[in-house]
Amino acid sequence: MEQERIDQIIDQHECQASSLIQILLDIQSENNWLPKHALERVGERLQVPLSRIRHIATFYKAFSLVPKGRHKVHICMGTACHVRGATRVLDTVQDLTGINPGETDLDLKFSLETVNCLGCCALGPVMEINGKAHGKMAPAQTAQVLKNYE
């Protein structure tokens, strides 16, 4: 991410330290993660210590300090999904992408996470990609759904 774009985002929030979290969210939404140079620039422009910015960026799960894929894949492992075969769906996603939960593929195409609940238990097992829920998943369907995001 270029410094000019980081400055534009900061300027949109009138260079207010009270907008720090929103500025970080905006940077991450465009970049899929928070690079160190972006954090340094935000600190410099807002006159906030880098240690404070890193504390915030590591406290909130929404932020990532490592590159993430363009497509965020969440597999629900809650009770309803688990008993309906979520582990088989997870195994299929791992086989197809070559990554484990908490990882991102080398092409920065997919990041995989497991979650405890996505709030749509009746549709279990559920796989969510970029916020869109895909319910009643079976291993055979998983490959087809992933292909739609390549």
Q: Per residue in 23-69, pLDDT tens? A: 999 999 999 899 999 999 999 999 999 999 999 999 998 899 999 99
Q: What is the mean pLDDT of residues 81-103?
A: 96
Question: CB within 8 A of 28, min separation 6: which ones?
Answer: 34, 62, 63, 64
Q: Per residue in 121-135, pLDDT tens? A: 999 999 999 999 999
**Rounded distance between C-alpha atoms, residue 7 and residue 105, angstroms:** 29
**Rounded distance between C-alpha atoms, residue 35 and residue 54, angstroms:** 11
Structure tokens at 113: 């996470």
**Rounded distance between C-alpha atoms, residue 36 and residue 73, angstroms:** 25
Mean pLDDT of the chain: 95
How many angstroms from the chain centroid is the CA of residue 42? 21
Burial bucket for residue 10 (CB in 10 Å: 0-12, 13-18, 19+): buried
> What is residue 118's DSSP assignment?
-
The reported pTM is 0.78
Q: What is the mean pLDDT of residues 83-89?
A: 96
- Contact in structure between 96 and 143 (CB atoms under 8 Å): yes
Burial bucket for residue 83 (CB in 10 Å: 0-12, 13-18, 19+): exposed
> Is the pLDDT reported for residue 74 higher than 90?
yes
Tell me the percentage of the chain whose pLDDT exceeds 70. Answer: 100
Ordered by where they begin, the domains of the chain are 3-59 (no CATH), 71-147 (3.40.30.10)
Going across the sheet that includes 132-134, the strands are 110-115, 71-76, 127-129, 132-134
Q: What is the mean pLDDT of residues 131-141?
A: 95
